[in-house]
Chain A
Amino acid sequence: MMMTGHRVLKADTFVQNWPKWLVYLALNFLLFFCYVLFSKLGEYFLIPSGAVSILWPSAGIALGFVYVFGIGVVPGAFVACLTVTFMRDPSFGQLDVLSALLTAVGISLHVVVGTVLIRKFTNAEFHSGNLRDILSFLFWGGPVASIVSAVLGTLSLTYTFEFTNSQFWEHMFTWWVGDVFGVVVFAPVTAILLSRFRMRNQFSWSSKVIIILPAIGAVLVFIWMFGNAKDEFSKLAYDEYFTQVDNMVGDFSQVLSIDVTLVNAVSAFIEASDNITSDEYKSFTRPLLENSIGMFGLSWLPKIEHNQRDSFVRLIRSQGYPNFDIRARNALGELQKSEQREIYYPLAYTEPYVTNNSAHGFDVYGQDGISGDVRRGILDEARKLDKPRATSRLSIVQRPGEYGFIVYRPVFKPTGTGEQVHAGYINGIFLYSKLIKQLVKKAANIGSDLILEGISGDGEVTLLFDSRTLNNKEGPPDSYDLTSVIHTRHHIPVAGQVWRLTYLKNGELLGSDFVRSIWMLAGGGALFSMLLLIILMMITARSEFVEKLVRQRTSELKLANEELEEFAYRTSHDLRSPIVSSVQLLSLASDAIASNNTKMANHSITHAKNSLAKLDDLISDILVLTQIGSENEEEVLLDIEVTIDEAISKLDHADGFERLKISRYISLEDKVLIKPSRFKLILENLISNAAKYQDPNIENPMVEIICYKAVGNLYLEVSDNGLGIAPEYQDQMFEMFKRFHPKVASGSGLGLHLMRKSAGVLNGNISYQALEKGSLFRLIVPIVVIRGREF
C-alpha cells in the first residue's frame, strides 16, 4: 500500500534495534493510550444537548498517528474507540456491541481515508511549510474524511436510539462538525510532534519547539476559555432561569395575597352590614370574583344556633331558594339534611351560585368523618386568631374529583355593649387547577413543569398539584426524586399554610442561543488554533528553508573556493612549468647551435615546441572552463545524429583515429532541445578520449556511440575497448588536473572535469562504468517537455 513502505523505515530509525512488530505494537499502544486520554478531554467539550463529543479530539490524534506511521497503527485507534465507547456505556448488550463496532469502523476508516487523500493531494509533508500542503492536510483530513466517521457513527447510534429524521441529520452534522474541530486542532500538532520519527523534511528541535509550544499553548488556552465560557454561560443561564422563576413566584404570591384580601373584604362587608340579602351579597361579591384568580367561590357562613335554625332556613328559602336546608355529609360523603347540632355554619349565600349550588346549605362545622375534623380545626383556629386561615388539601364538594382548599375568615360583629361577637365565616373556595393555571402556562413558556405541595407543621408533604400528570394529581413516586433534574424551590405562606412551589426544567437549561454561542466559541477557538499553527509552521519552515539555503550556499561557495585555490595553484604550476622548460630548452638549443651540435639543438627545439603546444592546449581548456560557469547559453533544437557525425568528422584527422573503428547507433526521431556547445564539448571529448587512450596492444580498437531516449531522459553512451581507468583512481577521475595515463597521451587533465561541469550545466549527469575491457561513459540529460510534446 502506498502509505506503508517507506514509513516502516522511519519508525525503525527511532528504535533501530527493535523488531518491526515490536515497534508497531509499541506505537499501537501509544495511540491507544493517547486516544483514551484525549477522550476524557472530549467529555470536557460536551456541548448541550449532549452531543457526542468524546471522540472528537481523539479523532485528530488518530489521524496524526496514521498520517505519520501509516495504516499499521489503525488497530490501536480501532480498539481504543471500542474501549472508550464501552467505558461510557458498559452494558454489553448485543446492539451496544454492534453500535460500538460500527463507530470504531467509522473512526478507523476516517483516518485511513483521510491519510490516503492527504497523501494523494500533497507533494511533501504538510509541515514543510507549503501553505497549499498545510491546507490540503486540514481539508482532506478534516471536512472531507470526517464525513465517513460522522455517517457511520450516527448510523451506529440508530441501533440504540430512535431518531426522528431531522434528529438523525442534526446528529450527523454535529458529529461531523465535532470531528472537523478535533482534526483541525489536534491532528497537525500530533503529526508535528511525531515527525521526529521521520527522516524526510524533519524540523530541527528548536523549530519544533517554536511550533509546538505556542500551538499547545493555544490549544490549552482554547480549552480553558471554552470551559470557562461554558461554565459562565451555564451560570448565566441558571441566573436567568432563577430570576424568571423568582419573578413568577413573586407574582403568584401577590395573586394569593389579593385572593386572601378579597376574602377579608367580604368579611368586612358582612361586619359592617345588617341583615344582608342574597342579592346584596351577590352584587358585592360578583366584581370581587371577577377580579380574582383561582377563586372558585365566595360564601357567607353565618353562625346559626339550633334554636335559630328554622327561622334561618325560612329566611333563605324566602329569597328564592325553596329547597334550601342545612345539610351535612353522611358516611358515604353524600349531602343530606343535617342532624341536629348546637351550632351550624351553613353556606347561606354562595357566589357564583351556579357553580356552588351543590354545596348550598352545607354545614362546614359538621362532623362527617371525611374532612370535618380538618375543617373544624381550621375554623376554630381562624376564629381564635381572628385571621384568615387556609385548609390543607380538600376534595371540593362542588367539584368532585378535584382538589382545592378553602380560606376561612371569621366575622365578628359588635354587640350593643361594644363587644365583638363571632358571627360566622367567609370562605373563599379555591381549586388548585384554576389558581395555578396561569402559572403553569408561564412555566411552560420557560420550559418548566410545576409541582405545588403543602407542607404541614410537622413537615409532612402533601401534593397539591403536579403539572406533569394528566389529572394533576400524584405521579409515580420516582418522579419526585429530583436529584438529576434542574429545579428550584420556593416556600410560600398562604393564610397559615406553607406551600412549596417547585419548578422543574424540562431538558437542557442552555437555550439555543447559548448553545450557538458555545459552538461559535468552539469554532472560533479551533480556527484560531489552526491559523496560529499554520502561521507558525510557515514562518518556521521558511526560516528553516532559508537556513538550509544559507548552509547549502555556504558549502557550495566553500567548495567553489577550494576548487578555485586548487585551480590557481595548478595553473600557476602548469602554466609556468612549460615556459620555464622551454626557456631552458631554447638556451640549450642556442648553446648547441654555437657548438655546431645540430642534433642536440633539434632535440631541444622539439621538446620546447611540444611543451609550448601542451601549454596552448591547457590555455584553451582553461578558457573553456572559465566560460562554463556562465550558463546563459540558449537551448536550441539540435539534431543529435548530425551533431555526432560532425563531431566524428571533425576529429577524424587527429592522432589515433586511423586505427579506430567508430560505430554509432542512434534511435532518436525528433530533435532535442539542448545547449549545443555543452553537448558538443562532452561528445567531442568522449570521442577524442576514446582515440587518445586506445590500447596500442590490441588489433581492433573501437568506439561505440549509442544515443537514445528513455523515461524523459536523453542517454548518450560512449564505450571503447581502450585502456580504461584503474579502479583506485575512479573516484577522482572527474576532478581537475587528474591524468591517469601520463605516457600514452598528453592531456591537460581538465577534459573529464570539463565534461562533468558541462553535464551539470545541462542539468544532467555523466558517469563512468569500467568494462571488462575498456570504458563506458554515460551522459544522462533530462529532456524538457513543452505542451505535451517532448523535445
Chain B
Amino acid sequence: MALSLVMVVDDSEADQFICEYTLKKYNPDIEIMSAFDGQEALDMLEAAETRPQVIFLDINMPRMNGHEFLATYTTLYEADNASVVVMLTSSDQTKDVERSMAYEAVMDYFIKPLSEEDIVSLCDRNANLCR
C-alpha cells in the first residue's frame, strides 16, 4: 500500500481527472504530480525533491510527446532506478508498444482508461514498488 507518489503525464484534462479518481480510489492518500506534456514533466522532475514511484505516460501530447519524453528521460535518469514508467495511452498500435517497451525504464503498457485492476496488477507484479 506504499504507492504514495505518482506522476501523470497527459494533455487531456479528462484523462487526468479519470487517473486522479482511479488512483485516489486505490489509495486516497496518494499524491499526484500532473504534467500536461513531456516537457512539463521533465521540468517538474527536475524541480521535484522526491521522485515519483511511477510515471504514467501518455504518448500523443503536444510539444513533447511520450516517445520524445522517454528519449530525454532515459539519458537524464537512466542510472537511478527511482521511478518506473508505465505507458497509459489509447494507442494499441504495435509500433507504439514496441517502441515504448524497448526502454528498460518502461515497466508496463496500459490502454486507457486506467482502472483500479491495472494498478493492482502493477503492484502484484512489482511487489517492491508498492511495498
CB distance from A743 to the nearest CB of B (A): 5
Interface flags, A727-744, vs B, CB<8A=1, else 0: 001000000011111110
The answer, yes or no, to whether B21 is at the interface (CB within 8 Å) is: yes
Interface flags, B59-94, vs A, CB<8A=1, else 0: 111110000000000000000000000000111010
Task: Report chain B residues within 8 Å CB of A488.
Answer: none
The answer, yes or no, to whether B11 is at the interface (CB within 8 Å) is: yes
Contact A607 to B91, CB < 8 A, known contacts A580-B113, A740-B62, A742-B11: no
CA distance A600 to B90 in the complex (A): 24
Asked whether B62 lies within 8 Å of A742 as measured between CB atoms, the reply is yes
Interface residues in A555-591 by Cβ distance below 8 A to B read 569-570, 572-574, 576-578, 580-585, 588
Asked whether B112 lies within 8 Å of A749 as measured between CB atoms, the reply is no
Contact A739 to B112, CB < 8 A, known contacts A581-B15, A607-B17: no
The answer, yes or no, to whether A391 is at the interface (CB within 8 Å) is: no
Asked whether B90 lies within 8 Å of A740 as measured between CB atoms, the reply is no
The answer, yes or no, to whether A145 is at the interface (CB within 8 Å) is: no
Contact A577 to B18, CB < 8 A, known contacts A584-B113, A740-B62, A742-B62: no
Task: Report chain B residues within 8 Å CB of A580.
Answer: 90, 112-113
Contact A576 to B14, CB < 8 A, known contacts A740-B63, A741-B62: no
Question: Of the candidates B12, B18, B60, B113, which one forms a contact with A570 in the assembled complex, judged by CB atoms under 8 Å apart?
Answer: B60
CB distance from A612 to the nearest CB of B (A): 10
Asked whether B60 lies within 8 Å of A743 as measured between CB atoms, the reply is no
Task: Report chain A residues within 8 Å CB of B91.
Answer: 569, 572-573
CA distance A741 to B15 in the complex (A): 18
Closest chain A residue to B36 by CB distance?
A: A742
For this complex, into which size category does the number of interface residues on chain B fall?
20 to 34
Contact A604 to B63, CB < 8 A, known contacts A569-B93, A580-B112, A581-B113: no
Closest chain B residue to A612 by CB distance?
A: B14
Task: Report chain B residues within 8 Å CB of A574.
Answer: 60
Closest chain B residue to A608 by CB distance?
A: B14
Question: Of the candidates B11, B21, B61, B63, which one forms a contact with A588 in the assembled complex, judged by CB atoms under 8 Å apart?
Answer: B21
Interface residues in B39-72 by Cβ distance below 8 A to A read 59-63
CB distance from B17 to the nearest CB of A (A): 5
Contact A729 to B12, CB < 8 A, known contacts A576-B90, A585-B17: no
Task: Report chain A residues within 8 Å CB of B93.
Answer: 569, 572
CA distance A468 to B15 in the complex (A): 121
The answer, yes or no, to whether A553 is at the interface (CB within 8 Å) is: no
Task: Report chain B residues within 8 Å CB of A737.
Answer: 60
Asked whether A749 lies within 8 Å of B62 as measured between CB atoms, the reply is yes
The answer, yes or no, to whether A548 is at the interface (CB within 8 Å) is: no
The answer, yes or no, to whether A292 is at the interface (CB within 8 Å) is: no
The answer, yes or no, to whether B98 is at the interface (CB within 8 Å) is: no
CA distance A574 to B13 in the complex (A): 14
CA distance A481 to B78 in the complex (A): 106
Asked whether A743 lies within 8 Å of B18 as measured between CB atoms, the reply is no
CA distance A174 to B93 in the complex (A): 80
Task: Report chain B residues within 8 Å CB of A584.
Answer: 18, 112-113
Contact A582 to B14, CB < 8 A, known contacts A573-B90, A577-B90: yes
Closest chain B residue to A592 by CB distance?
A: B21
Asked whether B21 lies within 8 Å of A581 as measured between CB atoms, the reply is no
Interface of B is mostly: loop
Closest chain B residue to A569 by CB distance?
A: B93
Question: Of the candidates B17, B36, B61, B62, which one forms a contact with A604 in the assembled complex, judged by CB atoms under 8 Å apart?
Answer: B17
The answer, yes or no, to whether A610 is at the interface (CB within 8 Å) is: yes
CB distance from B115 to the nearest CB of A (A): 9
Interface flags, B1-27, vs A, CB<8A=1, else 0: 000000000011111011001000000
Asked whether B13 lies within 8 Å of A739 as measured between CB atoms, the reply is no
Question: Of the candidates B14, B63, B112, which one forms a contact with A610 in the assembled complex, judged by CB atoms under 8 Å apart?
Answer: B14
CA distance A31 to B89 in the complex (A): 70
CA distance A570 to B37 in the complex (A): 17
The answer, yes or no, to whether A603 is at the interface (CB within 8 Å) is: yes
CB distance from B35 to the nearest CB of A (A): 10
Asked whether A573 lies within 8 Å of B62 as measured between CB atoms, the reply is no
The answer, yes or no, to whether A330 is at the interface (CB within 8 Å) is: no
CA distance A578 to B113 in the complex (A): 10
Task: Report chain A residues within 8 Å CB of B21.
Answer: 588, 600
Task: Report chain B residues within 8 Å CB of A741.
Answer: 62
CB distance from B113 to the nearest CB of A (A): 4
Task: Report chain B residues within 8 Å CB of A573.
Answer: 59-60, 89-91
CA distance A312 to B114 in the complex (A): 167
Closest chain A residue to B95 by CB distance?
A: A569
The answer, yes or no, to whether A202 is at the interface (CB within 8 Å) is: no
CA distance A634 to B11 in the complex (A): 40
Asked whether A581 lies within 8 Å of B12 as measured between CB atoms, the reply is yes
Closest chain A residue to B15 by CB distance?
A: A581
CB distance from A123 to the nearest CB of B (A): 47
Closest chain A residue to B58 by CB distance?
A: A577
Task: Report chain B residues within 8 Å CB of A607.
Answer: 13-14, 17-18
CA distance A600 to B25 in the complex (A): 13
Closest chain B residue to A604 by CB distance?
A: B17
CA distance A570 to B15 in the complex (A): 17
CA distance A588 to B60 in the complex (A): 24
Asked whether B63 lies within 8 Å of A581 as measured between CB atoms, the reply is no
Task: Report chain B residues within 8 Å CB of A570.
Answer: 60
CB distance from A439 to the nearest CB of B (A): 107
Interface flags, A463-478, vs B, CB<8A=1, else 0: 0000000000000000
20 A-B contacts (beta carbon < 8 Å): A569-B91, A572-B91, A573-B59, A573-B89, A573-B91, A577-B90, A578-B12, A581-B12, A583-B113, A584-B18, A588-B18, A600-B21, A607-B13, A607-B14, A607-B18, A608-B14, A610-B13, A740-B63, A742-B63, A749-B62
Q: Which residues from chain A sit less than 8 Å from chain B, CB to CB?
A: 569-570, 572-574, 576-578, 580-585, 588, 600, 603-604, 607-608, 610-611, 729, 737-743, 749
Please give 11 more A-B residue pairs, beta carbons under 8 A apart, in addition to A573-B91, A577-B60, A581-B18.
A573-B90, A574-B60, A577-B15, A577-B112, A581-B113, A584-B112, A588-B18, A610-B13, A729-B63, A739-B11, A743-B36
